[in-house]
Amino acid sequence: MLNRNGTPPAPQASSGAGVLPPARTEFLPDLPTDSWQAFLYQLSRQQLLVAPIVRWIYTGLWALAVLWPLFDLPGRWWGSAIALAVTFALWLVIRRARRQSFVRFTAAPLPAVSPARLPPTYKAPVYVTGWLSVQAKVRQFASVPGFYRTFATREHALLCQARLRRFWGLATWPSEEEGLWYGFFDAGQIDQVSAGMLTFGRQSLPALAIHYRPAASTDGKDGRYPTRATLYLAFPAETERSRVLADLMVERANVHQGE
């Protein structure tokens, strides 16, 4: 069932980007799995029984490599070598896709915007790619629907929702990962903000790449925040990207004025 944020809609507020619409309370729909990057992402996340699909594929290929020569099948050692080669190639492709967070970001010049604070009640709908956490769990997600908002303290927050999804009619999203996930950062943690287009599946959306230093930095192993990371925020409309960029530029403008 679709989770809803119980906060009632806020009244319209003005900002440097013009009059803001009421804050949304419903998450964007999940993006379809219609490209090789999205397909690899699902292979690595969707689970069949107790393991991701890709692990079952690796197991099957390894078993094929061992059993092919034992049963003296046609080609014998050639068949075993091909199975091992396919296993290694698939591992390399998924490893590279994971390092790119299973998305493609094409950088472009930053749009010209005037720094403007977003009201704390305003929530900009986004698709978030990067490291998110809840309680003691930390996971890397790709294009999960969420909201961007900035509290009165000027801490930026991402509230995201991982929904139950089925794959091939059998595999499902890990049950322990369903629900709400969060990301937090402030101006002091941001190293750079880049603009561009983010592609996941066949959709390319206006996006921002936030290169930052997570507060809970570790050695970067699976399930832990790396020392430096990138959050990709993809927006359903250019106007939303401009509003969020204007909000992120507030502290940077203050720094330049101080210099």
Calculate the average pLDDT of the chain: 81
Residue 39 in contact with residue 96, Cβ under 8 Å? no
Lowest pLDDT segment from 21-25, 104-108, 155-159, 230-234? 21-25
| pLDDT the model gives residue 148 | 97
Q: Where in the chain does DSSP place strands (E)?
A: 13-15, 18-20, 47-48, 51-52, 104-108, 124-134, 137-150, 156-162, 166-167, 171-172, 179-185, 190-200, 203-212, 229-234
* pLDDT mean over 223-234: 85
Give kind and range of the element (H or E) at residue 85. helix 77-99
Residue 134's DSSP bridge partners are 137
CB atoms within 10 A of CB 102: 24
Amino acid identity for residue 49 in this structure: L
Query: How many angstroms separate the CA atoms of 33 and 18, rounded?
Result: 35
Closest CA to 142 of 212, 210, 200: 200
- Scanning the structure block, which residue is given the tokens 């961007």? 148
Residue 112 has pLDDT above 70, yes or no: yes
If we measure between CA atoms, which residue out of 32, 29, 13, 33 comes closest to residue 21?
13
Query: What class does CATH assign to 105-258?
Result: mainly beta
Taking only the tens place, the pLDDT of each residue in 193-221 is 999 999 987 889 999 999 999 886 544 44
Residue 211 neighbours by CB distance under 10 Å? 14
Selected residue with higher pLDDT from 126 and 97: 126
Q: What is the pLDDT of residue 19?
A: 55
